[in-house]
Amino acid sequence: MARSFLLTSAIFALRAAAQTSTGFTDEKTGIKFQGIQHDSGYRLGYAVPEKPSTDFIAQIQAPISNAGGWAGLSMGQSMVGNPLIVAWPNEGKVISSFRLADGYTNPPVLTTGKQTMKTIPDGTFVNDTAFSYTFLCSNCLSDDSSLGLVISDTLNIMGWAFSNKALTDSTKASAALNYHDAGFGAFGIKMSDAASADFEKWAALAVADAPSGGNSTIPSPGGNSTTPTTPVVGNSTAIVANETYDYIVAGGGGAGIIAAQRFAESGASVLLIERGGPSYAFTGDVKTLPWNDTVSMYDVPGYGYYLSDVGSPAYCADTADMAGCLLGGSTSVNAMMYVRPQARDFNDKWPAGWKWADVSAAAERLYERNPGQTYGSQDGVRYDDGAFDVLSKFFAAQGWTETDFVKNPNNKVDVYGHPTWNIANGLRSGSVRTYLPLAQKLDNFKLMMNTDVVRAVRKGSAVSGVEVKTADGKRVIYNVKAGGRVVLSAGAMSTPRILFNSGIGPAEQLKTVASGNTGVQLPEEADWIDLPVGAEIKDHPIFTVKFKTSAPLAATDKKALITPNQTTIDLFAKGSGLLAESGQRLNWWSSVNTTDGSEVFFQGTCNSPEDDTVQMKVYITHGLKSVGSLGINADGATTFLTKPHMTSKVDTEAITLMMDRLISMTKGGNSTLSIIPPTGVTNVTSADLITSFKSGSHYVGTAKMGTKGEAGVVVDTDTKVYGTDNLFVVDASIHPDLPTGNTQAIVMVAAEAAAARILKLSGTPSKPSTPVASGEASPASSSAAPAAASSSAAPAASSAAPAPSSAAPTAVPVETPAPTPTQSSTPSAPAESAPAAKPTSAQPSTAGKWERCGGIGFTGPTTCSDGWKCVKQNDYYSQCLSA
């Protein structure tokens, strides 16, 4: 999910401590610029008149060529909310466009304002190693930061970024950008230092670009370009694969993998299609770590917050906010919070048949395979736990109760405890590790990666299959058998795209698809299905509060994780240490009652970002009222029509009450915390703490479940899309409400329940499943889709991570049959193991010294070697200690 443009607060909350500018003269034009010349080879300069009014001149240079990449600048102190200018080489020319970023989404072309760019040819070139773009930016100075650069009387903080990876389509000025992993940063510039009496002379060097490039006063969707946009060929060129399936599942995320495995377990033939590539090392990700060649960065729990520091995470380039485009979806790139839902999360707004009493059995099936845990490190030691020590005492002094959230998921008021993580045996867990290996043992299951499902092929109410786009741009149609089913599991921000492309959704969005640039061929308009796809999207907004501690608190620097020392490396090889834990250190939950009678819940996620400092991320969760709407643009990217955050006065009242309470708690005589006030504030109030927030990227409700005609409802209680015979949705899109905690666990619970309901429908294909020969699995394909689904393995992929010689014996995925019309036996899955430098071929009959010997979910030896005794540390972990 390779995402084009990631705007994280850590990266682009530009700081005043940024590098300051220097002056330089461009040799080719003679223009004197003030800007930055970075060690990476990126260069950015500005020139303005002595009395700035509307225009400036800028030059962007970056060490990228026609091989691919892009470079850009921000006309303001943040990449979010300020116009961006991006440029890249294409066939010896430079393409550029104005963009406007509003979050994690790929920034769309800016279509408001009167900004234009005119190229200065003498300063614009493309060669074998770099490109340069020098231009006059007219109407680019403004009093409105959303329309242009606002010149500060003191210091402007300017952002920059570039990528050296090829764009998917570099011919269009509206092209989706990829992640800026080649370099990014910020610098301070006094615009008075960029002023020159020669500005008008330099501006006269600019020439208007060719009209074919769309260089208009208000940028067209094509933006400012020296090359015309080439339409994408539609499905008229698609070939039809010669294999058919009982089930085609579109999306190999947390929900899609669960559904696909359960369908395959029933004996039905299943094709699971994932648009991204492998994630965990055992799935074929060959980008292992320099200090451990058995794991990728996605395997390592300690990298949950630092994927962008370690590598280039696979984020989607065409979604309205952050999502994962790789095997496992967002479960492979998130911070591993795994909050078991409380009963109310289902009971309050889910329809009949989906209350907690109805889905609790599905939850137990999930938890048996994928329990989650609160301890992280396999050796039973909680590393870097100072923040918990400080905060637990703070909350205990307020009368709150310490709670094990795995054992007591319904306790969600005035409680705190250790975070619940989707970690097992020192590795990131999830359906990739606990369900996928079981499916890959069956010869009736196939996985295809790097293949994007474009649409469901539909005539009237009947869906015959899916059209996909392969990595090399080919279009292929895969069909289902008679009575077969298509299940969309692409996530709350991508499943709507597939529905729109299938002629399902509001007419306005379908018309955008029909007139857009993606080449999607919709059904005849008479066959369009008018459903409110995207109309009721919800998310958890997150408010960040920092506190100073009166008790000493030592924080762990992220460098200790990104470049671990040998002790940390050795501990990780045993499934232990800092890298076996995610980044949270304490969670709390509470609720407030608003004047309209609502109870609104809050989650607090806490850690220590620096010494003597605690950070709380305060989420508004269950009971939240705000909704937004999601649509699609001409380039096929989903985009917010209305942002879903803080649109309700009830939510504003609720967060105000919660912040008032936190402030009051810190003012108590026994408090060890004091709020760090925002800049310029001395007497902190709740209003000061809620001026800004960020998205939780926990989106639900874009294809809600319920009764047709209700707000946002798209699917029935069997998850079937209204108006279709055999099209289903199984992912966060169908959730009618937000849960009390992070969405990962509840999405997996609902997927278990949905798969069981779909399998119980009349006409479900069922036959005995046939295991692959012992020791083999149907491996993940990373090749572009041919006429038939590929079963060729990704390089060096096996169906399980290597079992370490130094680690404890490891647990296997638990095979818990879903209730289906017929049951079939499934062979045991490969062992899920902690990473190590060297693999071993077999488990020992006894556990060695310091190794794990018991605990919930453990299936290895419970007897220790001579001289050692198995000692219980907690319900989840027992360890061999010296007798």
Catalytic residues: 698
Per DSSP, the residues of 824-852 read ---PPPPPP----SSB-SS--SSB-TT-E
Q: Which residues contact 56 (CB under 8 A, 6 or more apart)?
A: 46, 47, 48, 136, 137, 140, 141, 149, 194
Rounded CA-CA distance 304/711 in Å is 35
Cβ-proximal residues to 543 (8 Å cutoff; 6+ apart), any chain: 617, 618, 655, 659, 689, 690, 692, 693
Query: What does the angle CA 410 – CA 414 – CA 418 come to, to the nearest 5 degrees?
Result: 70
Measured from the Cβ of residue 876, the count of other Cβ atoms closer than 10 Å reads: 20
Q: Over the Cα atoms of the chain, what is R_g?
A: 27
How many CB atoms sit inside 10 A of residue 871's CB? Answer: 16
Q: How far is CA 257 from CA 250, 575, 735, in A?
A: 10, 25, 18
CA–CA dist 163, 51 (Å, integer): 34
755, 738, 670, 659: which is closest to 698 by C-alpha? 738
Contacts of 501 (CB under 8 A, 6+ apart): 454, 455, 513, 518, 520, 522, 636
Q: Is residue 66 within 8 Å of 45, Cβ to Cβ?
A: no
815: Cβ–Cβ under 8 A, 6 or more apart, which residues?
369, 438, 826, 828, 829
Give yes or no for a contact between 88 and 69, defined as CB atoms under 8 angstroms apart: yes
- How many other CB atoms are found less than 10 A from the CB of residue 205? 18
Q: Which residue has the tokens 């799935």?
A: 283
Which residue type occupies 7? Answer: L
β-pairing verdict for 877-882 and 868-874:
antiparallel
| Bridge partners, residue 713, by sequence | 704
Secondary structure class of 417 (helix, strand, coil): strand
Cα separation of 250 and 271, whole Å? 9
d(CA 100, CA 108): 6
Treating both helix axes as pointing N-terminal to C-terminal, what angle do 254-265 and 744-760 enclose, rounded to 10 degrees? 30
In degrees and rounded to multiples of 5, residue 331 shows phi and psi of -70, -15
Q: What are phi and psi of 836, to 5 degrees?
A: -155, 170
726 — phi, psi (to 5°)?
-150, 30
- The two most distant CA atoms of the chain are separated, in Å, by 87
Query: Which residue's entry shows tokens 């509003």?
Result: 102
Cα angle vertex 861, ends 858, 863, to 5°? Answer: 125
Q: Do residues 553 and 612 lie in contact, with contact meaning Cβ atoms separated by under 8 Å?
A: yes
Range list of β-strands (E), 324-405 = 401-402
Burial of 352 (0-12, 13-18, 19+ CB in 10 A): exposed
Which single residue is written with the structure tokens 């223009």? 31
Q: How far is it, in rounded angstroms, from Cα 701 to Cα 707? A: 14
For residue 568, give the 3-state DSSP assignment.
Answer: helix
